A and B are shown apart, each in its own frame.
Chain A
């Protein structure tokens, strides 16, 4: 084996691409190896019906770290994110709530439901903006090593503690709830109206095995509002051509910085020699050499499949084995003949230009979660509905639409009534029907518009993308698995016990979503280590 490359990145998901682009920009000859025939991982767009672009998995963008956009010159490569003008919470019997960008429009819209909530929303928004601003630096730093006695690490921990202790007292108090509490603990301090509370709580359950009243949901909520659109926290957009359009921007950027991308190249093994990574082996036996190998896969695959776990210390393997994945999300995507009707909002097609939430009360969400706890997919699921073609005319033929429905809850470990494990492939159509029935309930006449339906189960997510148990974040966003614990205490700084072997997937800090942070921060470590080695 000769070293044709300085670094090989395993996995061409968005984090692998970001990582490779940074490495190439730093001058490393970098190769990305992607198992599938297309890059993007969970961020892809596929034309399943001629003229209809489906965002099979992820569909909206917010968390992408703003400095990546600049460092990698992504706008030069076609990055274009169309902002969502508002969020629509669909209620029952013609009730609804539309929250947009104008403070006092929102005030009066909420006041239709509760005048006190309308005012509370002003305080709440100010609080969340300050909270996001305070936490943002943590998203963009390599978390300190919390289990090391090295003076540098101790100093880094001290600096972090000092930073947190310096925050305004109300934020410190709030953060206590955020780390361990539920989102309803926070929302109940401000609001009484169910439609508003459930709208806000929807961010607290995305992709996670929690209900809005479960401990842990507050952190999931914060994670989903800490992204930004043009400097406004909590705002989302659709990338032109779906999130697959964004992955292709990243691929072009990586290539322009000098990286090579090879698709249909599944890696079976990272080759380790004397405790150091020296290259990879592909399915079919081909070997490629490089002194740096970066896994952009999830922690299970990084530590238990690509390498022999016996090379690894027991505490690490134990942490990875007990790491919670337990995917709970599914997608049902539609090609539609037209826009569905919404009772109370007839003749206002523009309301579909943002997120449309189905899940009108905290109880609705909790009932959906109870199904999940019982090992069933929700009989009335929470749906995050996006009709991207209303904002991006190239997603569907004129007058037609694509609708992405993110579905909570659909537990990876599905149980039959008798408690035995059920087969997702057998349940797939039923999941599709359930989602369609739910949509019919809120948009009467919906079914008549359906041209095509794509059902994505947690098992599909696992099989297609490679995300263990279909967890969309490559590991739950729970405090014991976040920050200096992601993916395991002491191994949170993108290195592994194997020299030259690094990790940069969503299972590392800051975590899941189309965010790029793991890829970027890992590249920083790799480049720094290399400079140290070179001296």
Chain B
């Protein structure tokens, strides 16, 4: 029987279609409304709440914690100040990515990480006797992602202690009378926060947030809306855009940080698991492909469907599965792993893996669609990701933005 997160009882009444997905053994809503589009706009315009409690959560502590994480992660963690988080991946010794996640440094010798797959044994086996303790706190905490330009407006109703929390900052605050750990992070590419709350007070926190958020269009958002946002943000999803090297069968299924577009994380002057293999990849030029953005040519997409007598599908288009990509001459080039109609950008976008000669922004390719049973290609252009990166994601949160003056031009 699937498990229920600490927020389940609160979320269930919002689930209009009453459809639940199973996410690592927990009930998780694909959508709360019949169409995910209003939830998507809660993320992009108001405040969306996604229940990330099913993630596996670990506390890594002890005087050796920083050193251990430095050794494990592609990015250094001990050099990160307390009160900061870093997005990183970790690799196996062949230099293939195992997983990715945000590591939060909540105290000098204490780190938190939430991961998509179980990692207690993995972490413990890598850290024998180094003054490190790894604790599975998955069941101790509920976790909510509060995302959207008004996420700060909601929190401001409850505390004034978050004004200075910068992008990727983390802090402990009390909301109402509920202590929480809150980081300015998320999986949407928008302004947003992730809140860790103890299981016992999870429901109370939920109620607090939703009453504080009433004037800001706060809404629970499901997996579909989250995916729409994360693709626009160019954020890769495990088991969709890549697979864990740990559970892959062959190297064709495994990817290096550079191939995933995470080369920026890698510092070869440091020692970490997979470093030598990545250095060899770098020196030998063995990178097989790169992960890039594609935007579909709007006019070509219209032409293709009109030519078949169809209305070109837009709203609701979301494919998180392989789609083939061809060169303009029709030969095979690579594949897309995520494809969505971006309602905000009014175009179809995709995350794709392409051979190195096609990864420069502006490169022209064709994406394979199946409008009526048989494949047809549509023109697409390689672009740099993210597709959408609003200034408010990174910037200081400042004072509540009053609506822009409309009376004068």
Query: Which residues does A use to contact B, with CB under 8 Å?
Result: 37-39, 44-47, 51, 53, 66-67, 69-70, 74-75, 79-80, 82-83, 85, 100-102, 105, 129, 133, 229-233, 240-242, 244-245, 248, 251, 261, 263, 353, 390-395, 397-400
Contacts and interface: CB of A to CB of B under 8 A. Distances in A.
A416 B298 CA distance: 55
A393 B37 CA distance: 17
Contacts of A231: 311-315, 341
B41 interface: yes
A499 B150 CA distance: 52
A221 B404 CA distance: 34
Contact of B403 (A38, A67, A70, A394): A394
Interface string B18-54: 0000000000000001110110010011100000000
Contacts of B311: 129, 133, 231, 233
Interface stretch (B101-109, B211-219, B275-283): B211-219
A232 B341 CA distance: 13
B137 to A, nearest CB: 34
Nearest to B45: A82
B402 A51 contact: yes
B41 A47 contact: no
Contacts of A393: 45-46, 150, 153, 215-217
Nearest to A37: B408
A298 to B, nearest CB: 22
Contacts of A74: 346
| Nearest 3 interchain pairs by C-beta | A398-B215, A231-B314, A230-B315
6 contacts: A37-B408, A45-B406, A85-B35, A102-B35, A230-B341, A244-B406
B300 to A, nearest CB: 11
Interface of B: 17, 33-35, 37-38, 41, 44-46, 150, 153, 214-217, 298-299, 311-315, 341, 343-347, 401-409
A241 B409 contact: no
A489 B331 CA distance: 52
Nearest to B404: A241
B403 A53 contact: yes
A79 B344 CA distance: 8
A261 B343 contact: no
B38 A229 contact: no
Contacts of B401: 394
Given A233-B311, A397-B215, A38 B34 contact: no
Given A46-B407, A133-B311, A251-B409, 10 more contacts: A53-B406, A67-B299, A69-B346, A79-B346, A80-B45, A85-B34, A100-B35, A102-B17, A241-B403, A398-B153
Contact of B216 (A100, A105, A230, A398): A398
A69 to B, nearest CB: 5
Nearest to B44: A80
A188 to B, nearest CB: 27
A391 to B, nearest CB: 7
B45 A85 contact: no
Nearest to A261: B409
A38 B41 CA distance: 28
A248 B315 contact: no
Contacts of A37: 408-409
Nearest to B39: A85
Contacts, number: 111
Given A102-B17, A102-B34, A263 B215 contact: no
B134 to A, nearest CB: 42
B406 A46 contact: yes
Given A53-B406, A242-B406, A390 B214 contact: no
B310 to A, nearest CB: 8
B315 A75 contact: no
Given A244-B406, A394-B403, A232 B344 contact: no
A349 B145 CA distance: 24
A241 to B, nearest CB: 6
A239 to B, nearest CB: 11
Contacts of B46: 393
Contacts of A79: 346
Contacts of B37: 83, 85, 101, 230
Nearest to B305: A231
B215 A39 contact: no
Contacts of A400: 215
Contacts of B408: 37-38
A100 B34 CA distance: 8
Given A80-B45, A100-B35, A230 B215 contact: no
A37 B405 CA distance: 13
Contacts of B298: 67, 70
A461 B154 CA distance: 39
Given A46-B406, A393-B46, A230 B343 contact: yes
Contacts of B312: 231
Nearest to A247: B409
B60 to A, nearest CB: 39
Contacts of A399: 214-215
A248 B409 contact: yes
A45 B150 CA distance: 21
Nearest to A44: B406
A263 B406 contact: no
A51 B33 CA distance: 29
A231 B409 CA distance: 31
Contacts of B33: 85
A102 B19 CA distance: 14
B409 A39 contact: yes
Contacts of B406: 44-47, 53, 241-242, 244-245, 248
Contact of A105 (B34, B215, B314): B34
B315 A232 contact: yes
B38 A83 contact: yes
B409 A263 contact: yes
Nearest to B212: A398
Contacts of A67: 298-299
Contacts of B35: 85, 100-102
A38 B346 contact: no
A326 to B, nearest CB: 30
A80 B390 CA distance: 13
A70 B346 CA distance: 8
A129 B312 CA distance: 12
Nearest to B298: A70
Contacts of B299: 67, 70
A230 B313 CA distance: 8
Contacts of A391: 38, 41, 217
Contacts of A242: 406
A85 B217 CA distance: 14
Contacts of B153: 393, 398
The winner among B217, B313, B408 for most chain A CB atoms within 10 A is B217
Contacts of A39: 409
Given A39-B409, A398-B215, A398-B216, A101 B34 contact: yes
A133 B306 CA distance: 9
B407 A38 contact: yes
A67 B311 CA distance: 14
A80 B344 contact: yes
A415 B41 CA distance: 46
A38 to B, nearest CB: 5
Nearest to B405: A47
The winner among A74, A232, A393, A400 for most chain B CB atoms within 10 A is A393
Nearest to B316: A230
Contacts of B44: 80
Given A129-B311, A232-B315, A399-B214, A47 B341 contact: no
A353 B38 contact: yes
Contacts of A232: 314-315
